[in-house]
Amino acid sequence: MFRFIAITMCGALALTACSSTPETGSSAATGSNGSPSNELETVRMITHESFVLSPSFVEDLRAQGVDLQITSTGDAGTLTASAILSAGQPTADVLFGIDNTLALRATEEGVFQTYESPELANVLPEFADDTQGGRLTPIDFGDVCINVDDTWFAQQGLTAPTTLDELPEFANRLVVEDPATSSPGLAFLLATVARFGTDWPSYWEALRDGGVAVAGSWTDAYYSQFTPSGGDRPLVVSYATSPAAEIVFAEDSSVSTPSTSVMTDSCFRQVEYAGILEGAENPEGAQKVIDALLSRAVQEDIPLNMFVYPVRADATLPSAFTEFTPIVAESASLPAEQVKDQLASLLATWGSVMNR
Tell me whether residue 1 is in a domain.
no
pLDDT digits (tens, 9 = 90+) for 196-233: 999 999 999 999 999 999 999 888 999 999 999 999 99
From residue 125, give the alpha-carbon distance in Å to each of 24, 121, 149, 230: 32, 9, 34, 42
Residues 100 and 180 in one domain: no
Residues 342 and 209 in one domain: yes
| pLDDT score of 17 | 31
pLDDT digits (tens, 9 = 90+) for 63-122: 999 999 999 887 777 788 889 999 999 999 999 999 898 899 899 999 999 999 999 999
pLDDT digits (tens, 9 = 90+) for 156-197: 999 999 999 999 999 999 999 999 888 889 999 999 999 999
Residues 35 and 122 in one domain: yes
Residues 341 and 156: their CA atoms lie apart, in Å, by 44
Tell me whether residue 324 is in a domain.
no
Contact at 8 Å (CB) between 244 and 145? no
Residues 109 and 185 in one domain: no
| pLDDT score of 21 | 40
Contact at 8 Å (CB) between 93 and 285? yes
Residues with Cβ within 8 Å of residue 31, at least 6 apart in sequence: 37, 39
Residues 110 and 247 in one domain: no
Tell me whether residue 59 is in a domain.
yes
> Across the chain, what does the average pLDDT equal?
88
Residues 207 and 120 in one domain: no
Question: Per the structure, how many domains does the chain have?
Answer: 2
Residues 163 and 18 in one domain: no
Tell me whether residue 107 is in a domain.
yes
Classify burial at 32, counting beta carbons within 10 Å of its beta carbon; exposed 0-12, middle 13-18, buried 19 or more. Answer: exposed
pLDDT at 270 over 80: yes
Tell me whether residue 328 is in a domain.
no
Identify the CATH number of the domain in which residue 57 sits: 3.40.190.10
- pTM beyond 0.95: no
Residues 286 and 186 in one domain: no
Radius of gyration of the chain from its Cα atoms, rounded to whole angstroms = 21
- DSSP H/E element including 321: helix 319-324
Residues 150 and 256 in one domain: yes
Where does 170-259 show beta strands of DSSP type E? 174-177, 213-215, 235-239
| pLDDT score of 77 | 76
pLDDT at 124 over 90: yes
pLDDT digits (tens, 9 = 90+) for 43-65: 999 998 889 999 999 999 999 99
Tell me whether residue 188 is in a domain.
yes
| pLDDT score of 38 | 58
Residues 341 and 219 in one domain: yes
Residues 278 and 135 in one domain: yes
268-290 mean pLDDT: 97
Tell me whether residue 356 is in a domain.
no
From residue 270, give the alpha-carbon distance in Å to each of 58, 141, 306, 342: 26, 6, 13, 17
Could you list the residue range(s) of the whole structural domain that residue 224 is in? 143-269+333-349
Distance from the first to the final alpha carbon of the chain:
25
Tell me whether residue 90 is in a domain.
yes
Contact at 8 Å (CB) between 70 and 6? no
